[in-house]
Structure 1
């Protein structure tokens, strides 16, 4: 059996560009659709939260679609009202990780995204506290 060769810088760069292009295309199409579909109005063709549908409670991500809609339309106050923790912690965290992945990939280096037990505990802890707090407050 021939041992597998590690990927070269050019192959990592090519794979990163391909994946980033796909993500940009899918995200762009979703953003165009959301731009014209107000999630604040009932009867829109958007997926409902399955957790809220089953339990009647808000999950930690509930309001994320409304938050994205409000951000795209420049209403930061309404976006904060829709889901404050996702706006303050989630958006910057995803932007940081995606930016690190993209920069490393374009430089020809692999950037594996690894979640440790500690980081999982922090994320789930914040999500649990946020879910309880927002359901108690109403």
Structure 2
């Protein structure tokens, strides 16, 4: 009686499970399928240009610590967050002052050439069908970068010399 309803071995005469039939594409999917190939790289470039324009107009090097927009962590605790100094570093990069940019966020300045290369390679492949040599970023490299970033974030909040140099 109990063995009839529960089987431990699959029944070979049972019907196979139904195959997955994807739903028909909605309007958004159809629109994106017809979008020109250059639209995504131009959109990303527009976002970068908007960020650069805002940074140039806002001049984060002259603002007060509590001026909007501000880092909530720094405002409430006084500690530098992992991204603190990134906007000022971007401002200095836009003005060509790399030592001052590195002073505000060294890892941002280190990562910027890699990010630019990834964008140019992606745009070249998507728009012009040209492949640049691939930038081989392994999961280990990402893990090491994130560990260094965490260590940098901790060290910049220590109040002793020589770590006070990291404080922004």
TM-score strictly above 0.5: yes
- Say if 1:13 and 1:105, in contact at 8 Å, map to a contact too: no
Residues 16-63 of structure 1: per-residue CA shift (max 9 Å, x gap): x11111122222223222212211222596522233234322122211
Structure 1 pair 83–12 and aligned structure 2 pair: CA distance change class (3 A)? farther
Classify the secondary structure of the residue corresponding to 1:36: helix
Query: Partners in 2 of 1:32 and 1:104 — Cα distance?
Result: 27
Structure 1 pair 135–91 and aligned structure 2 pair: CA distance change class (3 A)? same
Mapping of residues 49-68 of structure 1, within 5 Å: 49-68=71-90
Over the residues paired in the alignment, what is the CA RMSD in angstroms?
3.2
- Say if 1:60 and 1:127, in contact at 8 Å, map to a contact too: yes
Q: 1:38 aligns with which of 26, 37, 59?
A: 59
Question: Which ranges of structure 2 fall in alignment gaps of 5 or more residues?
Answer: 1-20, 25-32, 132-136
Structure 1 pair 20–118 and aligned structure 2 pair: CA distance change class (3 A)? same
- Say if 1:80 and 1:87, in contact at 8 Å, map to a contact too: yes
- Say if 1:67 and 1:78, in contact at 8 Å, map to a contact too: yes
Give the TM-score normalised by structure 1: 0.71
Who is 1:25 aligned against? 46
For the pair shown, the structure with the greater C-alpha radius of gyration is 2
Query: Partners in 2 of 1:45 and 1:19 — Cα distance?
Result: 33
Cα drift, residue 127 of structure 1: 1.1
- Say if 1:12 and 1:105, in contact at 8 Å, map to a contact too: no
- Say if 1:71 and 1:79, in contact at 8 Å, map to a contact too: yes
Cα drift, residue 93 of structure 1: 2.2
For this pair of structures, how many residues does the alignment match? 125
Who is 1:79 aligned against? 101
Classify the secondary structure of the residue corresponding to 1:135: coil
Cα drift, residue 69 of structure 1: 0.8
Query: Partners in 2 of 1:73 and 1:128 — Cα distance?
Result: 28
